[in-house]
Amino acid sequence: MPFFPQLSTGAVAQFPAFRTRFTRTVLGESDGGIQAKLADPGFERAEWVLRLPDLAEAEASALEALFEAVEGRLRPFVFLDPLANLLAWSEVFGNSPWQKPAPLQLTAGIADPFGTARASRVINTSAIPMALAQEIEGPGSYRYAFSVWARGAGSSLTLRRSAGPVAMSEEFVAGSGWRRVALRCGAAAIAEPPVRFEIELAPGAAVDLFAAQVEPQVQPGPYKRTGAESGVYMTANFAQDEIAVDAEGPNRFSAVIRIAINKEV
């Protein structure tokens, strides 16, 4: 499956970027004239408008190549939402698609840095490092920002990103207070998905975790809470009949890209 290209800066979009979500309400009316309105969970539509000034020639060519490969609106491609969190269940580490080995004990309902009780205490009861992990269907050649809030009074944790055999990681020491730690992931030589993100705890470590986040950019942005759905869209389409790439100067181009996803069951 082709994927939307990342810019040389490590971003998918330049700001301001715009996303609009559409919902549908089902209206039912009885013989007596009583109306009932219900949200339709089987319908979803979202549209993005990405204004991309100051593109290099290679970046503009990559956009045009994708447009030609998918034949405009016709065929889908993978799109990683630049305004979203790419991990599902960002606060519920016991839910799928999180992978949790049995020696990791998980306790929910811990006080978090936002003043609520949505954090989780994770204890590694084994004699070897153990990791919470989640995979996304994103390209390994992307650069990512992987972050999580942690608290652990001296316990260590390691954030790791791997694409095939290529991995990069960084170890952090959690303090007695909440701290957001982040791994700024460079591009891997392997372009194909999936990409795996791990929060590894040292043997015997006890760490409170909250607000895990992956973004398709080089620096972590504001936290975006997720549930069962993340910002990885496997069936995005162009929402335009052609891409107009304007030459602004030597090796300087601009374009406006419109992308849509539709779900109806």
Find the mean pLDDT for residues 5-15.
90
* pLDDT tens string 77-136: 999 999 999 999 999 999 999 999 999 999 999 999 999 999 999 999 999 999 999 999
Check the CA dihedral 237-243-246-251 and report its sign.
positive
Question: In Å, how far from its chain's centre is CA 13?
Answer: 14
Distance in angstroms (rounded) separating the CA atoms of residues 123 and 40 = 41
* pLDDT tens string 215-250: 999 999 999 999 999 999 999 999 999 998 999 889
pTM of the model: 0.90
The percent of residues in the chain predicted with pLDDT above 70, rounded, is 99
Mean pLDDT of the chain, nearest integer:
92
Residue 90 has a CB neighbour count (10 Å cut-off) of 23
Backbone conformation region of residue 54, classed left if phi is above 0, alpha if psi is from -120 to 50, else beta: left
What single DSSP character describes residue 3?
Answer: B
Which two tokens mark 208?
A: 């409170």
Residue type, 110: I
Domains of the chain (ranges plus CATH)? 17-80+232-264 (no CATH), 104-215 (2.60.120.260)
Q: Ranked by mean pLDDT, which of 8-12, 164-168, 225-229 comes out on top?
A: 225-229
Distance in angstroms (rounded) separating the CA atoms of residues 166 and 161 = 8
Find the mean pLDDT for residues 177-194.
87
Q: What pLDDT was estimated at residue 20?
A: 93
Q: What pLDDT was estimated at residue 93?
A: 97
Instruction: Give yes or no for residue 189 having a pLDDT over 90.
Output: no
Which two tokens mark 25?
A: 């309400």
Find the mean pLDDT for residues 170-194.
89
> Which burial class, exposed, middle or buried, applies to 224 when counting CB atoms under 10 A from its CB (0-12, 13-18, 19+)?
middle
Find the mean pLDDT for residues 2-14.
92
Residue type, 205: A
Q: What pLDDT was estimated at residue 264?
A: 58
* pLDDT tens string 145-157: 999 999 998 899 9
The tokens 């030597």 sit on which residue?
250
Which two tokens mark 256?
A: 């406006």
Q: What pLDDT was estimated at residue 68?
A: 96
Q: What pLDDT was estimated at residue 101?
A: 96
Instruction: Give yes or no for residue 265 having a pLDDT over 60.
Output: no
Q: Are 230 and 84 in contact (CB under 8 A)?
A: yes
Of 160, 164, 217, 216, which Cα lies nearest the Cα of 189? 164
Q: Could you tell me which residue, 158 or 43, shows the higher pLDDT? A: 158
